[in-house]
Structure 1
Amino acid sequence: MESPIAASSAKSSFDPMSNTGISSPVSLASSASTDFIAFKEYSFRPPSWHLLNKDTNPAYDVDHYILQSSNQNRPENLESFWQEFGFVFSVSMSQILTEYLVSGFTVILPSMVRQSVVTEASSIWPAAVFPLAIASTTLIFGRLADIYGGRSIYLYGFVWLAVWSAITGFSNNEVMMTISRIMQGIGASAILPSGLMLMGATYRPGPRKNMAFCIFGACGPFGFFLGIFVAGIAGFTTQWRYYFWVAGALSACTTIVAFYSLPNIELPRRQHDVWYSSPRRHVLDEGKAIQMDWAGGLLLGISISLILFSLIGSSQAPQGWKTPYIYACFTVGLVLMLVAICVEKYIATCPLIPHSFVAKAQIPALLTSLFLFYGCLGIFLLHASQYMEQSMGANPLQVVAWYTPMIVGGCIISIFGGYVLHLVSGTLLLVIAGFSWTIAPLLFAIAPQDATYWKYVFPSMVCATFGIDVTFNVCNIHITTNTSKNQQGFAGAIIAFLLHCGGTTCLALADIVKRESQHILGYRKSCQAVFWLEVGFAITATLILIAFVRVGEAKNDSRVK
């Protein structure tokens, strides 16, 4: 049988891609076997390829129809509806449990302080080390997932999280609690990038992938809601240990479901690091096999840990930034960060952060915006809870009820987004989300002493859920789609890193603002000063998006190979 490429060449003497060094667009015959061969040819086009329109390619309609149909069907490595259901459920549980362990811990802290498990003066550290551990190690686990496969890293990570969640429930002193929380963070750091890697590598771009990622994004607010709900009940009954044992049980159940539903994805172990893209050339420099960059990983991890430690500790240290160990850790962290950047750029043969990724147009601006947006998320989730409880007089269960619009809104956006993300410009959605990010804290910042739920809190929650879910879904789909298939672990790692490093950093800055302003403005006004800081972050991120970032529709297209 004559191949589709040969058939296309015979039909036309003019090849619009003849100077690129790549085969011309596929012209398909009507038979099913020819369609299959053509689809296989199509699937190996390079990442800079875009479907030509029907004016330049006579076979556009047929080619586009086959690709569109394939992207709306279940992936081949998910054999049944129930396996796909279990797969999406398992990956989404990584998001749910991570947010669960972040949000609920602040609710049960007072009970732990009353039972002398931790002291009030140092209670910030068991709460802070969990996201700090994620931010410091997630890039390492992303690379391990690219080397050994996301399935094994995901399963081991969930087993680790289940074990240490159970151990944390038996903690009876501050040291054991802090160490256990660090170990929980390491488990979450393993499951987040590997889960996103599995989802990004399994689904081709299109409506089905959009829906899967929207469900994953909606699980963030749901996990936060679940955390404060379970913690509220546990704290109300003084049985705070059940909060961690519930996390351990959920992790164990997820491990079982994941074992039977996660597909085995074979990834080429080549760097695929540099694409030379020009009108005349699309050449792949395969380089060496993917290796672990231990030097860069350790330097980045230690430097991030020291910087975040100093930022968090400065609000609790006796003399603030004048405390010797605070500025010493901050200085050493900055120096190690510079050394890590030099190692990644000039020395590492297989850098932890691929050069091709950061060299892409608009990526640095997009990452900066995401860092600030996720920082806004961290500030909002924590300080909105504190403001509602301590300034508006809401009890813990009432706070849970007031967060309900975020859950309902997340479910609606996840369903709605799966059907429209391939039709609406991603840039437009991100700009609208940026305004939502701005309005959500602004309502708390201007709320009077006698503020009511329906006038201030409810619209703030609606805006918050739109900003969170739209940003998370659009950017996750964009980053995973525009990262090569054998670097999906890195794509998941950079998303998790931005989420938790951005949140931890901005929370630390918010604590500094609150501490410095509280003795002047009082408690309520100092909380509102924190919300004004969040407004500033949101406006800055939105302006960066408007000026430098362009994201198209999440439509059917060939994936980066």
Structure 2
Amino acid sequence: MISGFAVVLPTLLARFSNETTSDFWPATILSLVLCATLCSTARLSDMYGGYPIFMLAVLWFCIWCVVAGFSTSLILLDICRAMQGLAIAAYTPSSFALFGCIYPTGPRRNMVLGIYGASSPLGFFVGIYVSAALPSDSWSWYFWIAAIIGFVALIAAYLSVPSDRADRSSLNLTMDWWGALTITSGLILVAYALAASANAPHAWQTAGILAPFLIGLACLACAVFIELRLADCPLLPRKFFTPKSVKPLMIACVSFYGSFGTWLFTATNHLRLAYGVTGVQLAAWFAPLAVGGFLCAVVGSSILHITSPTFVLLISGIAWVAAPLLLALGDPSMGYWPFVFPAMICTTLGIDMTYTIANVVLSSVSPLQWQGLAGAVNSYTASDSSDDDEERRTRGQQHNRAAGETSTHVQSDLGEGMVLKFEIFVVKVPLLSLHGIQFKKVDGGTWQYKNMAQTILNELKL
């Protein structure tokens, strides 16, 4: 729903958008809703059990995927994406609540969490591959295939997953509604302001960006006060962060996941521009992220009971430092295997092992009543730092065209939109009888803009 949608989005924008619509919401609303509601859905999972919340969430996801396939406007698509984000925010912590109840702490739970973590890189790669393989006029099947997969998961869970609701009656958890309201509102408003300001000129002088940001900060300040002073059963209790490993682990995860979003964007463009790789070949070059991610997650979780998580994280950190260096130092003339392939292996060692270790550690140090919260905290750092960053980088914003402005839309061989907007001015050099042209980037990637500007200059033969 996140990785593949970046490929489908240009087709949807070409079909539904016009000069007065913005593509900001379809690109970012899923991650905004997902990140903002994780704590609330985690509390519901810890209160009522992971099983009923998981079943309702998957059913909700299937319904809105089906509806999204019949979308006739960006407004309906935005609503569907928001509801899909709410469903993902519900079944992610509910899965952790189920794991924490069914499996005792030890190697077996570690293995289950490893398999759970392994599904992330596989799903990421499959989403991109399926969306890229679909014809542009069959975009509805991107959502309908997701609905079919979700329905199969729903039936499988109904037939095989035991209910854990009876184990929750003695936990005495209640819903912190004021905390949920202020946290959700604050995170949505702040995230919206930060995302909308990415490419907007004079962003922080615009009331439409500054006002939501300030109101969001005020809501988050109120949430902190409520959680620390007023709430009898806060959504984010301070005792959750009491184990000495939790705080440094969260800081490391934010850094890892955030840099992954940047790496994915820059690596994709680097392979296109420097290596000339596009289409299915580009997807194949990223295949080690799926295969290696699955293996790293399973192997990493299976050895945690015989080795220190700190040691595994150290290996993961070294690999993550090596991944961008290999791409930066690699010679494109040498092809895929000497530098790109090792970079992909280091990337999956760095990201997927970290995600799996964080899942295992947070689940192990958290009691039963906070198992859903443990899943929400790790998922929040991953979703907010990586997925939303990638969506903000791949989107473009519509704006009113000024007189004399030229707007150019570029599409890659993958079918993925490289929304590139720039202005070309004819200028006169002061004090000299010379004229020239001036380029000004309005929106889009720097590399695409530089490449397009150089192509235009070469064609003009000035």
Aligning the two structures, in what range does the TM-score lie when normalised by the shorter sequence?
Answer: 0.7 to 0.9
Q: Comparing 454-463 with 138-147, which one deviates more in the overlay?
A: 454-463
Show the counterpart of 1:231. Answer: 131
Show the counterpart of 2:47. Answer: 147
Q: Given that residues 297 and 352 in structure 1 are in contact (C-alpha distance below 8 angstroms), is that contact kept between their aligned partners in structure 2?
A: yes
Residues 66-105 of structure 1: matches in 2 within 5 Å?
Answer: 101-105=1-5
User: CA–CA distance in 2 between the matches of 1:165 and 1:370?
Assistant: 30
3-state DSSP class of the match of 1:421?
A: coil
Select the residue among 432, 438, 459 that pairs with 2:315: 432
User: CA–CA distance in 2 between the matches of 1:503 and 1:431?
Assistant: 21
| CA distance 1:415–1:508, change in 2 (3 Å) | closer
Matched, 1:248 2:114: no
Show the counterpart of 1:315. Answer: 198
Matched, 1:466 2:366: no
Q: Given that residues 299 and 340 in structure 1 are in contact (C-alpha distance below 8 angstroms), is that contact kept between their aligned partners in structure 2?
A: yes
Superposed displacement of residue 504, structure 1: 5.0
Name structure 1 gaps, 5 residues minimum.
Answer: 1-100, 272-288, 528-561
Q: Given that residues 375 and 507 in structure 1 are in contact (C-alpha distance below 8 angstroms), is that contact kept between their aligned partners in structure 2?
A: no
User: CA–CA distance in 1 between the matches of 2:76 and 2:29?
Assistant: 13
Superposed displacement of residue 344, structure 1: 0.2
| CA distance 1:476–1:252, change in 2 (3 Å) | same
3-state DSSP class of the match of 2:244?
A: coil
Select the residue among 250, 259, 277 that pairs with 1:376: 259
The structure whose Rg is larger is 1
| CA distance 1:120–1:192, change in 2 (3 Å) | farther
User: CA–CA distance in 1 between the matches of 2:325 and 2:181?
Assistant: 39
TM-score (norm. length: structure 1) = 0.67
Select the residue among 356, 359, 363 that pairs with 1:476: 359
Q: Given that residues 137 and 189 in structure 1 are in contact (C-alpha distance below 8 angstroms), is that contact kept between their aligned partners in structure 2?
A: yes
Superposed displacement of residue 176, structure 1: 1.2
Superposed displacement of residue 215, structure 1: 1.2
| CA distance 1:129–1:247, change in 2 (3 Å) | same
3-state DSSP class of the match of 1:360?
A: coil
Q: Given that residues 36 and 188 in structure 2 are in contact (C-alpha distance below 8 angstroms), is that contact kept between their aligned partners in structure 1?
A: yes
Q: Comparing 190-199 with 404-413, which one deviates more in the overlay?
A: 404-413
Select the residue among 282, 302, 310 that pairs with 1:419: 302
- Aligned-residue Cα RMSD (Å) equals 2.9
User: CA–CA distance in 1 between the matches of 2:325 and 2:207?
Assistant: 36
Show the counterpart of 2:89. Answer: 189
Instruction: Give the counterpart letter for 2:257 in structure 1.
Output: Y
User: CA–CA distance in 1 between the matches of 2:391 and 2:252?
Assistant: 18
Q: Given that residues 267 and 485 in structure 1 are in contact (C-alpha distance below 8 angstroms), is that contact kept between their aligned partners in structure 2?
A: no
Instruction: Give the counterpart letter for 1:239 in structure 2.
Output: S
Matched, 1:222 2:122: yes
Superposed displacement of residue 135, structure 1: 0.2
User: CA–CA distance in 2 between the matches of 1:477 and 1:124?
Assistant: 35
Q: Given that residues 117 and 172 in structure 1 are in contact (C-alpha distance below 8 angstroms), is that contact kept between their aligned partners in structure 2?
A: no
Q: Given that residues 217 and 414 in structure 1 are in contact (C-alpha distance below 8 angstroms), is that contact kept between their aligned partners in structure 2?
A: yes
1:349-370 deviation line (CA, Å, top 9, x unaligned): 0000122112332422221221
3-state DSSP class of the match of 1:455?
A: coil
User: CA–CA distance in 2 between the matches of 1:390 and 1:183?
Assistant: 37
1:326-358 deviation line (CA, Å, top 9, x unaligned): 122111111211110110000000000122112
Superposed displacement of residue 245, structure 1: 0.6
| CA distance 1:120–1:130, change in 2 (3 Å) | farther
Superposed displacement of residue 317, structure 1: 2.6
1:234-259 deviation line (CA, Å, top 9, x unaligned): 1x443111111100111111111111
1:424-463 deviation line (CA, Å, top 9, x unaligned): 1100111221122222233344556767332333222111
Q: Given that residues 7 and 132 in structure 2 are in contact (C-alpha distance below 8 angstroms), is that contact kept between their aligned partners in structure 1?
A: yes
Superposed displacement of residue 325, structure 1: 1.4
Q: Comparing 209-218 with 178-187, which one deviates more in the overlay?
A: 209-218
TM-score (norm. length: structure 2) = 0.81
User: CA–CA distance in 2 between the matches of 1:426 and 1:372?
Assistant: 17
User: CA–CA distance in 2 between the matches of 1:414 and 1:332?
Assistant: 40
Show the counterpart of 1:84. Answer: none
Select the residue among 485, 497, 500 that pairs with 2:383: 500
1:484-522 deviation line (CA, Å, top 9, x unaligned): 01221111221221211222565588689x99xx95998
Q: Comparing 203-212 with 499-508, which one deviates more in the overlay?
A: 499-508
Show the counterpart of 1:207. Answer: 107
Show the counterpart of 2:76. Answer: 176
Q: Given that residues 483 and 491 in structure 1 are in contact (C-alpha distance below 8 angstroms), is that contact kept between their aligned partners in structure 2?
A: yes
Show the counterpart of 1:455. Answer: 338
Show the counterpart of 2:250. Answer: 367
| CA distance 1:526–1:488, change in 2 (3 Å) | farther
Instruction: Give the counterpart letter for 1:259 in structure 2.
Output: Y
Select the residue among 524, 528, 532 that pairs with 2:447: 524
Show the counterpart of 1:31. Answer: none
Q: Comparing 365-374 with 137-146, which one deviates more in the overlay?
A: 365-374
User: CA–CA distance in 1 between the matches of 2:108 and 2:278?
Assistant: 41
1:163-204 deviation line (CA, Å, top 9, x unaligned): 001111111211111111011100111110001221122212
| CA distance 1:179–1:135, change in 2 (3 Å) | same
Instruction: Give the counterpart letter for 1:524 in structure 2.
Output: W
Name structure 2 gaps, 5 residues minimum.
Answer: 396-419, 422-439, 451-462
Instruction: Give the counterpart letter for 2:147 in structure 1.
Output: G
User: CA–CA distance in 1 between the matches of 2:53 and 2:7?
Assistant: 31
User: CA–CA distance in 2 between the matches of 1:128 and 1:451?
Assistant: 37
User: CA–CA distance in 2 between the matches of 1:424 and 1:475?
Assistant: 15
| CA distance 1:115–1:292, change in 2 (3 Å) | same
Superposed displacement of residue 377, structure 1: 2.8
Q: Comparing 440-449 with 295-304, which one deviates more in the overlay?
A: 440-449
Superposed displacement of residue 318, structure 1: 4.2
User: CA–CA distance in 1 between the matches of 2:260 and 2:356?
Assistant: 14
Instruction: Give the counterpart letter for 2:234 in structure 1.
Output: P
Superposed displacement of residue 207, structure 1: 2.2
| CA distance 1:487–1:207, change in 2 (3 Å) | same
Q: Given that residues 476 and 495 in structure 1 are in contact (C-alpha distance below 8 angstroms), is that contact kept between their aligned partners in structure 2?
A: yes
| CA distance 1:351–1:415, change in 2 (3 Å) | closer
Show the counterpart of 2:27. Answer: 127
Select the residue among 479, 487, 490 that pairs with 2:370: 487
User: CA–CA distance in 1 between the matches of 2:340 and 2:214?
Assistant: 40
Show the counterpart of 2:157. Answer: 258
| CA distance 1:523–1:209, change in 2 (3 Å) | same
User: CA–CA distance in 2 between the matches of 1:177 and 1:510?
Assistant: 20
Superposed displacement of residue 114, structure 1: 3.0
User: CA–CA distance in 2 between the matches of 1:338 and 1:414?
Assistant: 37
Select the residue among 114, 125, 136 that pairs with 2:14: 114
Show the counterpart of 2:209. Answer: 326
Q: Given that residues 214 and 469 in structure 1 are in contact (C-alpha distance below 8 angstroms), is that contact kept between their aligned partners in structure 2?
A: no
| CA distance 1:395–1:510, change in 2 (3 Å) | closer
Matched, 1:160 2:60: yes
User: CA–CA distance in 2 between the matches of 1:337 and 1:133?
Assistant: 16
